[in-house]
Chains A and B, each alone.
Chain A
Amino acid sequence: MKCAICGREADERSYCEMHMKAYESIDKKYGAWKKALQISWKEYLSEIVKNPLTGEWAKELAEHLIRSGESQNVESS
């Protein structure tokens, strides 16, 4: 399976090791953002895409999540 973002070898979640690490980071930090600003998952993704301190892979992944409209694990459950 290929990574949906960069085309590298991917795992069953269709992300390569690097973008998977970015996914974990995005997922983990949402709690802090939600507490700080009371924002939704989508708003959160747009915020981190805009932020210059966000890492390159995290930005790519956030853009991909926005495009694909994927909701966060926690929210969907």
Chain B
Amino acid sequence: MSLTREIISQHARTVCAVMGKYALIITEKPDAAQRIASALDVKEKAKKMEEKGVPYYLAERDKEIFVISALGHLYTVAEERHGRNYYPVFGFKWVPRYVAERRAKKIRAWVAAISKLAKGADTFIDACDYDIEGSIIGYCILKYACGNKEGVSKRMKYSTLTKQELEKSYSESLPHLDFALIQAGLARHEVDWLYGVNLSRTLTIAARDWSGKYTTLSTGRVQGPTLKFLAMREKSIRSYVPIPYWEVKAEVDIDGKIFQAKYEKKEIETKREANTILSACKEKNGIVEKIDVRQFNQMPPLPFDLGSLQGEAYDLFGYTPRRTSNIAQRLYLDALISYPRTSSQKLPPAIDYEGILKNLNNASEFRKLTAELLEKSELRPREGKKEDPAHPAIYPTGNLPEKVLDSSERIMWDLIVRRFMAVFGEPSTRQSVKICININGHRFLLRGRQTLKEEWLRFYEPYVRSKEVLLPSMKEGETTNIKKVIVEDKFTKPPPRYNPSSILKRMEEAGIGTKATRADVIQRLYDRKYVRDERMVVTDLGFEVVEILEKYCPTVVSIKLTKELEEKMSKIQINSEKREDVLLGAVEILKSATDKLKEKEEKIGEQLSNAIKRARLDERIIGTCPVCSTGKLVTLYSRKTGKRFVGCTNYFKGLCNTSFPLPQKGTVRSLGRNCRGCGWPTVQVRIEGRRPWMLCFNPKCPLKEQRRKAVEMRNLR
């Protein structure tokens, strides 16, 4: 084996010496560069090199191969003219990110290193992720950093970073880049930039010119409609008036155990009707009128696409879509799972189900389950309808972790592995039982549910959320002892607030944004303070932005038009729409929108400035003053020292001089809840490098006293 390697290695060196040239592979992330280089090197030990702090790798194979990575996007869209004080802006060009963004200085070294390596290369291979973003990253590097090599470059297409797949995708590289995909991607970036720069600048300039203070306000092609979804829901919640109704329940005693049966009509609209039922059933026995038993099959779940993984991780672990996306990306770069930014629910046989399960069999926690699946005569996954031309659904590669995963990575990998196994399982069989008990002419229902055959549920066990309600065996005509009948006062509930997972789902349903960008759009709404809290509450500022856009340029927040534009951009990918036409359409919409906004600039400025002022004040409010009970505790800054502290607003009226010191470092944020020990308002203090902690201002808080005593006891011991 080693002799063969040596021969290949010698051969490679000879070829390179003759040709004097090498192949240059471009990847999207440094981890991917290292994996690809190691996979392609004959000794699986690529040589790590550095050019002004930029790592790259040398792999020896049939010829020398240099593998260098990008750092995500190295190029971006920027305006042709300099300055930020004008709009509309329709002239743009693609530039290195360090030209357009102050924080992207290190990109300069990356671009320089790639350009230097490109000079000696005779073969170019784009190995960035095979999707829209990856294709643009590769295209821009080949065009701008490598000197117009996009036309001669080959393309590696892979869904996992395993050695086997990388070698295959290298030897069977596609002869050219996917230009239709690139055109679609470029159009998407350009349209998004046009929307973002024009609308955000309009809002920011309007507010700044009115108040004289600068605050970054933003909106965009996807951000605006997403905020509109949230604002619509918030309006329904804030103007909601609940309606009363009543529920009647009977407590049934069966063999000494109490079961609760619900009245057949779920919501009773009047109190009188509820009381009539109550008096009719009081102190009466019930008779089992009918027992309805039904068996049904529960199909295995579908394989994960990014959206469903984000939804499941939020429901199970409370991870935001962005966090899930980042964890999944790390697992992909560790070659533990396939490419996560997929919208596919298909698992083609080419991924080698058996091979993956055999490898997973080496992990003790999955051994029993994988062995069971491997015994099946045929492995056929349950698949969904959604397809992705570039990648299959998310699946484990079969590789086991080479390093210790952190707890979030471990749990995500476990979830993906178990989901993968579950899709090969047989449908489970469940049984529902409905017992109808007649109490003096009124029907009450007892409902039970149980699993008869677990099947796929066993593979997905810790993550299954089906409830088991077992009922005792009963016979029709049997008399039952009714312990008591109760009437419960109820009210209808407002619609639930969106959370990061449900808003992502709503965006998917509406067809706005892409799987790669949705999570970031949601995060931006938080960053701009348009929404707050996990159950997303739209702030005054968020409302103002939506209201202004809806009033003066409804087209830019129209969900229908956004979806249409999204479809047009997708059509570029199949060559049935032209990038130029899509751009012209976007410019037309934006021109009329910015004209209308400019006309009302002063009014918009006033509206936004007031909302910003309110938002800033709200941010500073910590809670009601516990001393005077009428003022509010707010964060203030001392004129003398510039130090921050907490003071009561009634101080300015000469009514209350309550004040407390605050830590001078880090950020202080109201927790919106009172201390459980003393009921005073609390704040959360965050200092970089330390765990955030809760601070109660009450010097006599019993919790502080308890803690002090505990420390004293410990010291004594």
Contacts and interface: CB of A to CB of B under 8 A. Distances in A.
Interface of A: 17-18, 21-22, 24-26, 28-29, 32-33, 35-37, 48, 51, 53-58
B233 to A, nearest CB: 11
Contact of B238 (A24, A28, A58): A58
15 contacts: A17-B547, A18-B235, A22-B239, A25-B239, A25-B240, A26-B241, A32-B243, A32-B269, A33-B243, A51-B242, A53-B491, A54-B242, A55-B241, A55-B494, A58-B241
B241 A36 contact: no
Contacts of A51: 242, 491
B235 A21 contact: yes
Interface residues of B, number: 20
A53 B240 contact: yes
Contacts of A36: 243-245, 269-271
A53 B238 contact: no
Contacts of B237: 55
B673 interface: no
Contact of A35 (B235, B241, B269): B269
Nearest to B235: A21
Contacts of B491: 51, 53
Nearest to A20: B239
Given A32-B244, A36-B245, 20 more contacts: A18-B238, A22-B238, A25-B239, A26-B241, A29-B243, A33-B243, A33-B244, A36-B270, A37-B244, A37-B270, A48-B241, A54-B241, A55-B236, A55-B238, A55-B240, A55-B241, A57-B239, A58-B239, A58-B240, A58-B241
Contacts of B543: 18
Contacts of B492: 53
A8 B673 CA distance: 29
A24 to B, nearest CB: 8
B616 interface: no
B541 to A, nearest CB: 14
Contacts of A54: 240-242
B288 to A, nearest CB: 32
Given A18-B239, A21-B235, A29-B241, A53 B269 contact: no
B244 to A, nearest CB: 5
Nearest to B547: A17
B116 interface: no
Contacts of B547: 17
Which 4 residue pairs of A and B lie closest in terms of their CB atoms, listed nearest first?
A22-B239, A55-B240, A55-B238, A53-B242
A34 B547 CA distance: 34
Interface of B: 235-245, 269-271, 491-494, 543, 547
Contacts of B243: 29, 32-33, 36
A37 B269 CA distance: 9
Contacts of A29: 241, 243
Contacts of A33: 243-244
| Of listed B242, B270, B543, residue having the most chain A CB within 10 A | B242
Contact of A37 (B235, B242, B271): B271
A22 B363 CA distance: 58
Question: Most chain-A CB neighbours within 10 Å: which of B244, B269, B491, B543?
Answer: B244
Nearest to A27: B241
Contacts of A24: 239
Contacts of A55: 236-241, 494
A57 B270 contact: no
Contacts of A57: 238-239
B553 to A, nearest CB: 17
A35 B271 CA distance: 9
Nearest to A29: B241
B217 to A, nearest CB: 19
Given A18-B235, A51-B491, A55-B494, A35 B270 contact: yes
A56 B348 CA distance: 52
A18 B653 CA distance: 32
A53 B243 CA distance: 10
A15 to B, nearest CB: 11
A51 B547 CA distance: 28
B239 A21 contact: yes
A25 B236 CA distance: 9
Contacts of A53: 240, 242, 491-494
Contacts of B241: 25-26, 28-29, 48, 54-55, 58
B605 to A, nearest CB: 15
Nearest to A31: B243
Contacts of B494: 53, 55
A32 B271 CA distance: 12
A6 to B, nearest CB: 10
A24 B235 CA distance: 12
A61 to B, nearest CB: 8
